[in-house]
Amino acid sequence: MTTVTTEAPQALSTGAEIRFTNAPSALAVVCANGGQGGDVAGTWSASIEWLVGELAPRFPALRFAEVRYRVKSWNRLDMCVEDVLAAIDETGGERTLLVGFSMGGLVSVRAAPHPAVSAVLGLAPWFPDRLDMSPLRGRRLDVLHGSLDRWLPGVPGVSPTLSRRGFERAQKLGVAGSYTMIPGGVHGTALRPFWGGIATLPRAHRWAELSAAVVERFQASDA
């Protein structure tokens, strides 16, 4: 597998940050993090960081970008969408796959009208019932969700029933795509233990395998 290097973070026009893996390309994968209720500073997602580390070497012709929001809160969704739109512009791909984890799935749907976006991959995406899925018209939506994902007191999570209902609403609008449940999967692929580094969660490599299939389809559609 090809060895790749992730560049140092750089500032976006909004004040958020972005970091790139792989060289500039006409094909881009822009990744949006999850969030929480409180107004706290953005962080780098362990799940996305691990997944980019798995995918980027497999797809050296694609430029991967991770976004760190200014504020990672669902009370600041407009700001998060602005950060992702700025990241799409900064990445400069002629065609872009948005990858949204948890709240990042909602953010990706709202950012989908950007002219460079051709597809969205939701990873355990938060699609609340009030979310308008019409921005996905003309794009593709693929969803992966762990079967054991749940919100529990003190433990973040998103019920698969929410993402399923959101996916079905998109289908009714004529949006093409797929919905895949990962047996034994939880909320995401990895976390950061207090002692440092990244620890994978159950079924992480299945998440990577299925995500790679979506990325491969995205890349092949430009052939």
pLDDT greater than 90 at residue 31: yes
**Looking at the domain assignment, is residue 3 inside a domain?**
no
Could you read off the pLDDT of 132-166 as tens digits, one per residue? 999 999 999 999 999 999 877 666 789 999 999 99
C-alpha span between 99 and 110 (Å, rounded): 12
pLDDT above 90 covers a percentage of the chain that reads: 83
Could you read off the pLDDT of 167-176 as tens digits, one per residue? 999 999 999 9
The predicted model scores a pTM of 0.95
Domain that holds residue 83: 10-220
Residue closest to 84 by CA, chosen among 63, 64, 101, 98: 98
Q: Residue 190 pairs with which residues in a beta bridge?
A: 200
* pLDDT of the residue at 202: 94
> Could you give the number of structural domains in the chain?
1
Q: Residue 191 pairs with which residues in a beta bridge?
A: 199
**Looking at the domain assignment, is residue 201 inside a domain?**
yes
Residue whose tokens read 């909004």: 14
CB contact at 8 A, 123 and 211: yes
**Looking at the domain assignment, is residue 162 inside a domain?**
yes
Tell the burial category of 181 from Cβ atoms under 10 Å away from its Cβ (0-12, 13-18, 19+).
Answer: middle
CB contact at 8 A, 109 and 135: yes
Rg (CA), the chain: 16
Q: Residue 132 pairs with which residues in a beta bridge?
A: none
Query: For the chain, how many residues are written?
Result: 223
The beta-strand segments (E) located in the chain are: 10-11, 17-21, 27-32, 63-68, 95-101, 117-123, 140-146, 176-182, 190-191, 199-200
* CATH code for the domain in which residue 85 is found: 3.40.50.1820
**Looking at the domain assignment, is residue 187 inside a domain?**
yes
* pLDDT of the residue at 13: 97
pLDDT greater than 90 at residue 73: no
**Looking at the domain assignment, is residue 204 inside a domain?**
yes
**Looking at the domain assignment, is residue 5 inside a domain?**
no
**Looking at the domain assignment, is residue 148 inside a domain?**
yes
Ramachandran angles phi, psi of 166, nearest 5° = -65, -40
* pLDDT of the residue at 5: 83
- The helix/strand/coil state of 50 is helix
**Looking at the domain assignment, is residue 41 inside a domain?**
yes
